[in-house]
Amino acid sequence: MDINLLRGAILIILMVSFAGLWIWAWSRKRKPAFREASMLPLEEDFGQVPGFDGSNDEARLTGKGEDHVK
């Protein structure tokens, strides 16, 4: 077995692993979990995000229809 064959096999394994990880991360079933994780820095001590009840994600993400100046 040549060292270059081993390097090529490792490269193929890493490329397939990267593609699998990319597909997993961008799958639709992961979207709610990632959205929840993205809100973690904004949570208060009691586990709630101020001014966010989860019912209007579009307005929260785009800023449309929301008055952010209070």
Q: What is the C-alpha radius of gyration for the chain, rounded to an integer number of angstroms? A: 21
The residue ranges of every structural domain in the chain are 1-43
Q: State how far the alpha carbon of 52 is from the alpha carbons of 17, 25, 39, in Å.
A: 36, 25, 10
Q: What confidence tens digit (pLDDT) does each residue in 6-52 have?
A: 999 999 999 999 999 999 988 888 888 888 888 888 877 666 666 65
Which candidate, 51, 55, 53, places its Cα nearest to that of 67? 51
Helical (H) or strand (E) element with 61: helix 57-62
pTM recorded for the entire structure: 0.51
18 and 8 in contact (C-beta within 8 Å)? no
